[in-house]
Amino acid sequence: MALVSPDSVLVSPSLPSCWPRFSQPLKLGVLASGRGTNLEAIAASIQRQELHATIQVVIYNNPGAGVVDRARGLGLPSVLLNHRHYPSREALDLDIIQTLATYQANWVIMAGWMRCVTQVLIEAFPRQVLNIHPSLLPSFPGTHAVDQALAAGVKLSGCTVHHVEIQVDRGPIIIQAGVPVYPQDSVAALQARIQAQEYRIYPAAIALAALDRANLVDGKTGKRP
């Protein structure tokens, strides 16, 4: 498929023209390790009354992470769970679960969370742990995905939101967006275009995942959550 302009983007499935409303706003717990720009994009979508949700808490694992300032600017509570202080990944995940419960969050939104999660967290929130990755999965999983794409010489890259499973950057895909890769691209230039699409699709992916789960529950019980 030809990309005819620098602004062209492939989104699959299409972004919702009418955002779903739920019986109660989705209660999100955001996990972040870095600057928190996706947190800001999600919060902006909520403020625009697109994504029917509230952000209950921001959990971060790096004491110097920029997400703390973004959370503060948005008036959101933030909790440091420094992974270096835990004897195992499972122990960290147990504390994440407890923190999410304290703040009554029932969706886990990994937004630049640079830690592998365990079955402990996945089983506590079945089909409600989401992640965003800067590639068109299953291509280029893991770290340095943008570098991998440039090294491979691909003509199309992008980002993916998916349900989290135990394998890194695996799990059912919810939505993807593609961006063209140009011969003169640097890692920074390509990453910036990918991030612009991340900010578009992550709020939509959360809504689509919640709608899918609501329909599943509705089909089994006759009731919506």
Residues with catalytic roles: 133
CA–CA separation, 131 and 39 (whole Å) = 12
Contact call for residues 40 and 70 (beta carbons, < 8 A): yes
Q: With left for phi above 0 and alpha for psi between -120 and 50, is residue 123 left, alpha or beta?
A: alpha
Contact call for residues 59 and 79 (beta carbons, < 8 A): yes
* Measured CA distances, 55 to 46, 101, 206 (Å): 9, 13, 12
| Angle 39-44-47 from CA coordinates, rounded to 5° | 130
CA–CA separation, 90 and 95 (whole Å) = 9
Tokens, residue 146: 């943008």
Q: Tally the C-alpha atoms within 13 A of residue 99's C-alpha that lie toward its C-beta.
A: 23
Neighbouring residues of 38: CB distance < 8 A, sequence distance ≥ 6: 32, 111, 112, 132, 198, 199, 202
* Measured CA distances, 26 to 53, 97, 107, 183, 199 (Å): 4, 17, 7, 42, 18
